[in-house]
Amino acid sequence: MTISLPSLAYAKNALEPYISEKTIEFHYGKHHNAYVENARKLIEGTDLADQSLEAIIERAVADPSKQGLFNNAAQVWNHSFYWNCMKPGGGGAASGRIADQIASVFGNYEKFAEQFKNAAMTQFGSGWAWLVLKGGRLEIAKTGNADTPMAHGVKPLLTIDVWEHAYYLDYQNRRADYIDAFLKHLVNWDFVNSRLV
């Protein structure tokens, strides 16, 4: 099977106090792992069993009868990507090549952060806010539920999970505080820069 729960690049308590070990245990250990297990069951014994996660998502998004597979496989991909978007001691103004691109497109980091936060705040219900590269240009996007830009030929650079399970244990209904903490203290700009190649 090609679908697996990836190892975290940091300890489960490494993002504290902004994301607690308890949240990581539930979000990564329970929710993310459940998507992995569900997706594995759905491809077991099919011609998708040995395909890459990206190929599985591509096939599933094109076939309405595979909506359940898409939901689970895309959530595996989204979550794996999300964990890489954070690091202990991260956040703050962008650095590296992405900083220049953000300044060019949005004017400055503060304007980018304001638009990114607005996308995350206005995603109704469950979903994601993204910084993506579309047609060679930076854009901010949002997707509902399991949807993911990579399923539509758009390259994700950064995401924040705004499903309640991502923040409710730590922030309850204070989504804005979670988004602020993500931007100020957690974003892994090294990872974002690595996606520009």
- Average pLDDT over the chain reads 96
The full set of domain ranges for the chain reads: 21-84, 97-194
Give the mean model confidence (pLDDT) for residues 132-159.
96
What is d(CA 97, CA 194) in angstroms, rounded to the nearest whole number? 9
pLDDT value, residue 12: 98
For the whole model, what pTM was predicted? Answer: 0.96
pLDDT tens digits along 63-114:
999 999 999 999 999 999 999 999 999 999 999 999 999 999 999 999 999 9
Judge: domain 21-84, CATH 1.10.287.990.
yes
What is d(CA 107, CA 103) in angstroms, rounded to the nearest whole number? 5
pLDDT tens digits along 119-131:
999 999 999 999 9
Residue 82: which of 172, 171, 165, 173 has the closest Cα? Answer: 165
pLDDT value, residue 118: 98
What is d(CA 139, CA 181) in angstroms, rounded to the nearest whole number? 21
Burial of 115 (0-12, 13-18, 19+ CB in 10 A): middle
Give the mean model confidence (pLDDT) for residues 30-54.
96
Question: With 90 as the cut, is the pLDDT of residue 168 above it?
Answer: yes
Backbone angles phi, psi at 136, to 5 degrees: 80, 5
Q: Which CATH superfamily is domain 97-194 in?
A: Iron/manganese superoxide dismutase, C-terminal domain (3.55.40.20)
Q: State both tokens at 166.
A: 């991502």
Give the DSSP H/E element, type plus range, for residue 144. Answer: strand 137-144
* DSSP 8-state symbol, 156: E
pLDDT value, residue 21: 98
**Percentage of the chain modeled with pLDDT above 70:** 99
Give the DSSP H/E element, type plus range, for residue 128. Answer: strand 127-134
pLDDT value, residue 197: 79
Question: With 60 as the cut, is the pLDDT of residue 142 above it?
Answer: yes
Question: With 90 as the cut, is the pLDDT of residue 2 above it?
Answer: no
Q: Is 101 helix (H, G, I), strand (E, B) or coil?
A: helix
Give the mean model confidence (pLDDT) for residues 169-176.
97
Give the DSSP H/E element, type plus range, for residue 66. Answer: none
Q: State both tokens at 121.
A: 């705040």
Question: With 60 as the cut, is the pLDDT of residue 1 above it?
Answer: no
Give the mean model confidence (pLDDT) for residues 4-32.
98
